[in-house]
Structure 1
Amino acid sequence: MTIAEPKRPDLARELIARAQASTAHRAKRVRNQLDAVQLGQSRHADHANTKFLRRILAEHDWPGLRLVGTAGARAAWRIALHSDDDLCFQRAATRLLERAVQADDAFLHHWAHLHDRTLINSGREQEFGTQFFLRSDGIELCPLRAPESLDERRASVGLVPIAVALDAVRRRCAPDHRSEDVAATCGLADAA
């Protein structure tokens, strides 16, 4: 998929800035480095990001590769992943992202992550093994449908085998890891 200049670089910049700020807060939240006020500010930012993305979806459908470029589309996906407090919005975003994938305007693995996140947030089992819990004793895969065929389903959407993904998540969530991206792979994670 060849990506030209995005049609809306202004939207791309705003999506990227919002996703980066959210990632920084999430990394601190995972490490219990936020006080109560900062935790509230982080949750408020997630709500504001959801509201912003909702406006974009209403005006433009899914902000795909053609509209906001690769980095902007990734940022939109990350914001949708962290819209956990608005399940109806998350479901709608999943459907719009799926349509964008079908139109070759978004990445299939992004849809797989958002689909799993929406399933878990709905109290159902995930399909592709992209969502994890961060426990005091380590990383645990969220409930999963048909674990015996997981790697086949993962391969069908361009994801690495689950053993490789789990190893990567464990390394990124190690206490000595300094990356701000730790939040993207811990808790109900969007990495795999």
Structure 2
Amino acid sequence: MLPGLAAALARELVRRVDDDQRATEEVHRSPTPAARRCLATCRESNAEALRAIVRRHAWPTAALVGAPASTAALMILLHAPDLAFQVACRDLIAQAVADGRCPAPHHAYIADHCAVELGQPQFYGTRIDPLTCCPYPVRRPEGLDERRRDVGLAPLDEQLRTLRLSG
């Protein structure tokens, strides 16, 4: 890919995540139907843009667009209202991680997200139920912290402590 095109994709991804964050903050400040519609529209537009990028260039890996933009793409994907698209990208991200083109935590987050959305236990414990502040069910919990360490995530207790302090 041409360097200018990669830089343009990177700017677009980061801008779209910034738009999502602003719309999310507005919903938190003023949870009106209009604010919720604005957030939903933003997320659908972001997902459509990411679909187009993936169709043309495959998953926007850190090797392709840089780490911040690749993380932005993951955030867009996690907020996308299309589970089939998320599952398809999960597999692209898994391959990119295996090839060293994407950080391992990216796969952990999307794999757990898809598992929870599909009603299956998650593998890395990254998804936390906002009502209980506990992780959604985890497959083989006895090896959870080892799996998390293998992909560069902190132990679950640390993640939960951080969430409680920020909440």
Fold match by TM threshold 0.5: yes
Question: Cα RMSD between the aligned structures?
Answer: 1.7
Look up the match of 1:189: none
CA pair 51-23 structure 1, distance change in 2 beyond 3 A: same
2:72 corresponds, among 71, 75, 90, to 75
Consecutive unaligned residues of structure 2, counting only runs of 5 or more, are: none
CA pair 46-153 structure 1, distance change in 2 beyond 3 A: same
Look up the match of 2:138: 144
Q: Normalising to structure 1: TM-score of the pair?
A: 0.80
Q: Does 1:98 align with 2:94?
A: yes
Q: Does 1:15 align with 2:9?
A: no
> Structure 1 runs of 4+ off > 4 angstroms?
none
Secondary structure of the residue that 1:167 maps to in structure 2?
A: helix
Deviation of the 1:134 alpha carbon: 1.5
Comparing 140-149 with 12-21, greater Cα deviation is found at 140-149
Q: Is the CA contact (8 Å cut-off) linking 2:123 and 2:139 kept in structure 1?
A: yes
Q: Is the CA contact (8 Å cut-off) linking 2:113 and 2:127 kept in structure 1?
A: yes
Deviation of the 1:81 alpha carbon: 1.0
Consecutive unaligned residues of structure 1, counting only runs of 5 or more, are: 174-192
Secondary structure of the residue that 2:120 maps to in structure 1?
A: coil
Letter in 2 for 1:17: R
Written as runs of structure 1 = structure 2, the 5 A alignment for 1:25-174 is 25-29=23-27, 31=28, 33-83=30-80, 85-135=81-131, 139-173=133-167
For these two proteins, the number of residue pairs brought into alignment is 165
Mapped to 2, the partners of 1:123 and 1:28 lie a distance apart of: 30
Q: Is the CA contact (8 Å cut-off) linking 2:23 and 2:38 kept in structure 1?
A: no
Q: Is the CA contact (8 Å cut-off) linking 2:127 and 2:136 kept in structure 1?
A: yes
1:139-175: CA deviation from partner (whole Å, max 9, x where unpaired): 22112112222111111111111100101111122xx
Deviation of the 1:100 alpha carbon: 1.1
Secondary structure of the residue that 1:145 maps to in structure 2?
A: coil
Comparing 140-149 with 161-170, greater Cα deviation is found at 140-149
Secondary structure of the residue that 1:40 maps to in structure 2?
A: helix
Letter in 2 for 1:97: I
Letter in 2 for 1:39: R
Q: Normalising to structure 2: TM-score of the pair?
A: 0.92
CA pair 91-6 structure 1, distance change in 2 beyond 3 A: farther
Deviation of the 1:24 alpha carbon: 2.9
CA pair 168-92 structure 1, distance change in 2 beyond 3 A: same
Deviation of the 1:25 alpha carbon: 2.5
Secondary structure of the residue that 1:106 maps to in structure 2?
A: coil
